[in-house]
Amino acid sequence: MLYRVDYTLGVTLAGFLAGMFLGRRLKMTAPAIGDAYFRVVLVLLVPILILNMLTLTLGPQRSWTIAATVIGTGANFIFGAVFGTASGGPHGVTLLQQPRVLAAIRITTAFTFVLAAVGKAFSMPYMTGFFKQSGYPVTFLMFIIVAEAFAGVAILVDWFFLIALAGLMIDMFGAIVTHVHNGDPLDDSTGAINMLLRLFAMGCLWQLSNRSSDKVNWRLRFSILGCACSLCLVAAVVGSIFIRHLWAPK
């Protein structure tokens, strides 16, 4: 059976492989590729914003859903292609160290989480029912809406980047844990899995762009990143159990 998450990850992998193939043939420099990726991301955000606003104000329509799927597919393909180009061409780590590559992913992530928070606020009856069904109080839903909106903006600010990154990772791990607890189909976790991939990528790019401690072993730095992700997963599981058992709806 093909799940939506399989499709999403498959598109990203296809982009990665295409990037590996084209990376050896591209005559562009790493800064030029980074700038091109940044510009493409900004262009894609415009129709995504328009489609989301139309859906929130006029309700979902099949044509808008198809358009959003096409744009999302393109965004996932290009996301994978950037990393494929870095691994398959002469650009290597230099491409991933370009500030505009990390900036593009930060902007799309911030955009996604802020829109998600707005979408939850506009779908309170459905979201309230889902949170109650999951064993969470409505106040926790309100907290998630506010947290996603603020963390989405905070991830654009260097001072708050790591805190926002950790908070959003816990949020997405928590979404997956909740769906697993409810026995929901894997498709329901597609968005969370997709965003976790981007959050992890941002963590890796931040490590690569942080040249203040070049003498530090790269393996150690990425091991620390892996441990931090594991701690976020543990926090999500423990927090889910804690909230469900102590603050469950009466």
pLDDT tens digits along 92-120:
788 888 999 999 999 999 999 999 999 89
Does pLDDT of 1 surpass 50? no
> Rounded mean pLDDT of the chain?
87
Contacts of 109 (CB under 8 A, 6+ apart): 152, 155, 168, 195, 198, 199, 202
pLDDT band at 186 (very low <50, low <70, confident <90, very high): confident
Closest to 55 (Cα-Cα) out of 109, 119, 113, 111: 119
Contacts of 155 (CB under 8 A, 6+ apart): 106, 109, 110, 113, 161, 164, 165, 168, 202
Closest to 120 (Cα-Cα) out of 147, 94, 102, 91: 147
What is the reported pLDDT for 173? 96
Does pLDDT of 2 surpass 50? no
What is the reported pLDDT for 218? 66
pLDDT band at 21 (very low <50, low <70, confident <90, very high): confident
**Is the Cα dihedral 35, 41, 44, 49 positive or negative?**
negative
